[in-house]
Amino acid sequence: MCIFCKIVAGEIPANKVYEDENTLAFLDIKPVNPGHTLVIPKKHYQNLEKIPEQELSFLILMVKKIGAQLKDKLKVEGYAISANNDLVAGQIVPHLHFHIIPRHEGDGHEPWSRREYAPGEAEEILKKLKG
């Protein structure tokens, strides 16, 4: 049983922000900024491709609700939403989850590095995605 499933089962304590029959939102134990919240489905799904669309709908509505709550209650200027999908993408806990990270002007957190496409690279990627 993964650590998030143990939190859902009540075997491990968590600072719960919100809970309903399908989803759970709780504070990240190592936040990027105060208020950093994780939103998970209560059922175990390893990644985004595994969750049924109806349950994903419940999950993303919870992300929206918690994001609005962060703005309203904590007066954050905005927030980043992130989901690391699979180990290679940085997913540490193999249970689908979204990070909602409060952001403030000048907080020093960059979302990711960027680069330019090499000549012809974008066209080649498009061929593969559309083919």
Model pLDDT for residues 13-35, shown as the tens digit of each residue: 999 999 999 999 999 999 999 99
Q: How many helices (H) and strands (E) does the chain have?
A: 3, 5
Say yes or no to pLDDT of 116 above 80: yes
Q: Say which residue the tokens 């974008």 belong to.
A: 122
Question: Is the sign of the CA dihedral 83, 34, 77, 61 positive or negative?
Answer: positive
Please, are residues 60 and 40 in contact by the beta-carbon 8 Å criterion?
no
Task: Give mean pLDDT, residues 121-130.
Answer: 92
Say yes or no to pLDDT of 75 above 90: yes
Domain that holds residue 19: 3-130
User: What token pair was written down for 96?
Assistant: 């689908």
* pTM flag (> 0.75): yes
Say yes or no to pLDDT of 2 above 90: yes
Q: What is the CATH number of the domain that holds 57?
A: 3.30.428.10
The pLDDT value recorded for residue 62 is 97
User: Per the structure, how many domains does the chain have?
Assistant: 1
Catalytic status, residue 109: no
Task: Give mean pLDDT, residues 84-107.
Answer: 93
Catalytic option among 95, 97, 99, 104: 97
Q: What is the phi/psi pair of residue 61, to 5°?
A: -65, -35
